[in-house]
Amino acid sequence: MGDYLVTGGCGFIGGHIVDRLISTGHNVTVIDDLSAPENETFHYNEKARYFKQDISKSDCSSLFQGIDCVFHLAARSRIQPTIGNPSECFEVNVIGTQRVLEWCRTYSVKKVIYSGTSSLYGHQNIIPFTPAMPPDCLNPYSMSKWMGEQVCKLYYQLYGIESIVLRYFNVFGPREPIKGVYAPVIGLFKRQVKSGMPMTIVGDGSQRRDFTYIDDVVDANMSALVADIRFGIYNVGTGKNYSINEIADMVGKEKVYMRERPAEVKETLANINLTLQDLGWSPSTDISKIIDQY
C-alpha cells in the first residue's frame, strides 16, 4: 500500500487515476480547485481525501508530508482559452508546477509523474513524434506545459526528485469533458448529437489526431509509478491517427464546418517505441472499437 497525491484529481484523467489507485488498495489525497470550465461535473471517490486548493496560490505544503509519489495533473488545459489569458496559464502550469516540486523536495517525496502534452511538437516536427524532438510551441498552453517539464528536469538534476513526464495524445473516454465550445472533440460531438445538433468541425476536418483511451492513459501512469526510471519523457498515444471527419462519422451524421483556429497543428501521431521499451506500456484500445460503447 502506498500514499499518493493527485493534483487535479477531480478532473477527467485525474479522477480515473484516483479510482485506479483506490481500487488497488492505496491511500489517495486529492488537490483540485474545481476551476476547469470544460468540466460539467467533478469526480469524487468516497475513499479518497479531497482538498479544494489552488496549487499556484494556496499553501498546500502540509499535504505532501508522508507522500510516496505525486501524480501532477492540475493545469489550465485547453489551448484556445490560454491564448486569451496567457498569464493565468503560466501562473498555474509553470509556477504551480514549481511549487508542487518544491513541496515534494521539502517532504522528500520520491517521485513525480507529470502529465504533459503532445501539442508541444508543433508544426516543425515530422510525424511520428518522438520525445527527443525539439519543442515547437504554438500557444501559451503548449509552452507552459513544456516549461513545466523543464522544471521537473531541473528538480531532478539539482535535488534528485525522480520525475517521469507523460505526453498525452488526445485522451478520450467515459467522463470526458463536454462543456463549452472548447471541450475535447469527442465529448463535444457526443454532446451535440445527444442534443440533436450538428457536429461542429473546425476547418475542413482533414486534420488528424492520435486518440488515446482513458484506461490506456491510466495504465501508462501505473507503469510509470513502478518503473525504475529516475527521469524520462514518454509519449502516451497509439501510433495510429484519424481525421476529425472520420471521428465525426463514428459519432453521428450531421456536420457543419467553421473557420480554422489559430495555433493548432494539422496532424499528430505518437512514436511509442521508447514508452514500450522503458515503461513496458503499449495501448490496448482502438477508438473505432470503443467510441460507441460509452
What is the per-residue pLDDT for 12? 96
Upper half-sphere CA count for residue 272 (Cβ side, 13 Å)? 25
What is the per-residue pLDDT for 128? 98
Q: Are 262 and 227 in contact (CB under 8 A)?
A: no
What is the per-residue pLDDT for 259? 92
Nearest 10 degrees: Cα torsion 38, 245, 216, 135: -80
CA–CA distances in Å: residue 147 to residues 108, 113, 205, 267: 23, 15, 30, 22
34-44 pLDDT, tens digit each: 998 888 889 99
Architecture of domain 3-172+213-237+271-279: 3-Layer(aba) Sandwich (3.40)
If phi over 0 gives left and psi between -120 and 50 gives alpha, with beta otherwise, what is residue 207? beta
DSSP 92: I
Residues 6 or more apart from 11 whose CB is under 8 A from it?
A: 32, 36, 39, 42, 43, 73, 177
CA–CA gap between residue 268 and residue 266 (Å, rounded): 7
**161, containing H or E segment:** none
Give ∠ CA 84-12-22 in degrees, rounded to 5: 145
Bridge partners (DSSP) listed for residue 212: 171
What is the per-residue pLDDT for 38? 80
Share of the chain above pLDDT 70, in %: 100
- Give the relative orientation of helices 140-159 and 96-106 as an angle to the nearest 10 degrees: 20
Residue type, 77: S
174-195 pLDDT, tens digit each: 999 998 888 899 999 999 999 9
Q: Are 121 and 133 in contact (CB under 8 A)?
A: yes
Q: Are 72 and 113 in contact (CB under 8 A)?
A: yes
- Catalytic, 156? Answer no
CA–CA gap between residue 174 and residue 15 (Å, rounded): 11
Residue spans of beta strands (DSSP E) within the chain: 3-7, 27-31, 49-51, 69-72, 111-117, 162-168, 171-172, 199-202, 208-209, 212-213, 231-236, 242-243, 255-258
232-284 pLDDT, tens digit each: 999 999 999 999 999 999 999 999 999 988 888 899 999 999 999 999 999 99
72-122 pLDDT, tens digit each: 999 998 888 899 899 999 999 999 999 999 999 999 999 999 999 999 999
189: Cα separation from own chain's centroid: 20
Give ∠ CA 219-225-231 in degrees, rounded to 5: 115
CB atoms within 10 A of CB 238: 23
Taking residues 45-55, report their average pLDDT.
98
Q: Share the mean pLDDT of the chain.
A: 96
- The residue annotated as part of the active site, out of 50, 121, 141, 242, is 141
Cell numbers 450531421 label which residue? 254
73: Cα separation from own chain's centroid: 7
62-86 pLDDT, tens digit each: 999 999 999 999 999 888 889 989 9
Taking residues 124-136, report their average pLDDT.
97
Q: Are 171 and 13 in contact (CB under 8 A)?
A: yes
Taking residues 214-218, report their average pLDDT.
98
